[in-house]
Amino acid sequence: MNKNHKEITALKDHLAKHHLKLTRQREHILNAFLRSEHVTAEQMYRQLSKKDPHIGLATIYRTLNLFCEAGLAQARHFRSQTQYDNVSHKGHHDHLICTGCGKIVEFENCDIERLQEEVARRNGFTIQTHKLELYGLCAACRR
């Protein structure tokens, strides 16, 4: 239990720094969020609304946005919905997204990352993070 201690303290730091409070709801949502790689607010709502003390959908939205501000999550728009990606889960994986069926494949490519660094250096930038999404058709949808 609690290899997620790092993320929990990261959230507590953010809360303290901004005069926000650690609530039962925020803890529950964080625990559920850290277990998944990426979720929508609806998915998380269906998952958590079964539990004993009900958590409202508005709170889910607010909390996932809070996670984004705290750097724990990253929002990504896909097919009229917002996916909240777990930043700690991705050692640095990017996404292949099928525009047909919505399937998402995660990948990691060191060569691409090296070239990104090179592009940044040539332009006087130092990279903090990046987002790479490849959209196309998977084998099943291409037929």
Interface contacts to a copy of itself, rule CB under 8 A: 76-80, 82, 96, 98-99, 105, 107, 109, 111-112, 115-116, 119-120, 123-139, 142
Q: Which does 37 bind (CB under 5 to 8 A by kind): DNA, a copy of itself, none?
A: none
User: Sign of the CA dihedral 58, 61, 64, 70?
Assistant: negative
- For 117, the token pair is 């660094």
112, 120 contact by CB (below 8 A): no
From the list 60-68, 94-102, 104-112, 126-134, the region that binds DNA by CB under 7 A is 60-68
- For 92, the token pair is 């640095």
User: Considering beta carbons, is residue 55 or 72 the nearer one to DNA?
Assistant: 55
- Sheet with 73-78: strands ordered across: 38-39, 81-86, 73-78
Draw the binding track, 82-121, toward DNA (x: CB under 7 A; -: no contact). Answer: x---------------------------------------
Distance in angstroms (rounded) separating the CA atoms of residues 16 and 12? 6
First to last CA, the chain: 45
**Binding of residue 15 to DNA (CB under 7 A):** yes
**Longest pairwise C-alpha distance within the chain:** 55
Q: Which does 62 bind (CB under 5 to 8 A by kind): a copy of itself, DNA, none?
A: DNA
User: Considering beta carbons, is residue 14 or 120 the nearer one to DNA?
Assistant: 14
Residues that bind DNA (CB under 7 A): 15-16, 19-26, 40-42, 53-59, 61-63, 65, 80-82
